[in-house]
Amino acid sequence: MNLQARPLGISGCFVARLPVFQDARGGFQKLFHAPAFEDLVPELSLQEAYLTTSQKNVLRGMHFQLPPHDHAKVVVCLTGAVTDVILDLRSGDGFGAVESVALAPDGDNCVILPKGVAHGFCAHADNSGLLYLVETVHAPEHDAGIAWDGFGFEWPVRDPILSGRDLGHPSLAEFVAPASWHNP
């Protein structure tokens, strides 16, 4: 697999376009190939996969898991279109840095994220589907988040559709990074 990933402005974060092979029958796409991701996320050991589908104007985020269940992840946009947002929660100079990228199946369709960053997205089309490949099994007691409107990012939707859970997260100013999270 020839993974053409480019680094984002947040250390350890990448965006990629996973190649699609087309012929008269349709298409084939390899969503994950460990050797291709090794250089980007050393020792990546995937444990779970999730699929979310969201309607237009749904905003999910900003989510992460706390140690010892924190994880690196690969997120692939399978359908629709989203603005994907990454927030650096690691202590150091990068704390609070924000990056956003447009993801869609026919363009950049994959982000690769290290431990210590929060992730969220806003759907621009009905039935926007994201596949998450993560390093740890979901541990609800270690699930956490930052308020979608609590870190200064200007989302591309005025009145997003949010879950009750996402309405209850603290702001970035209230968050203290775990000691094990530091910016390289």
Catalytic residue status for 169:
no
Active-site annotation holder among 50, 124, 132, 182 = 132
* Residues 6+ away with beta carbon under 8 Å from 179: none
* Residue at token pair 């005025």: 158
Enter the DSSP assignment of 58. B
Q: In what order do the strands lie in the sheet with 14-17?
A: 4-7, 14-17, 110-113, 73-79, 128-134, 48-54
**Nearest one of 112, 58, 52 to 83, comparing CA atoms:** 58
CA 83 to chain centre: 10
Is 71 catalytic? The answer is: no
Of the candidates 33, 63, 169, 182, the residue annotated as catalytic is 63
Distance CA 121, CA 166 (A): 12
- Using an 8 Å Cβ cutoff, are 71 and 115 in contact? yes
List of residues 6+ apart from 168 with CB closer than 8 A:
none
* Active site members: 63, 132
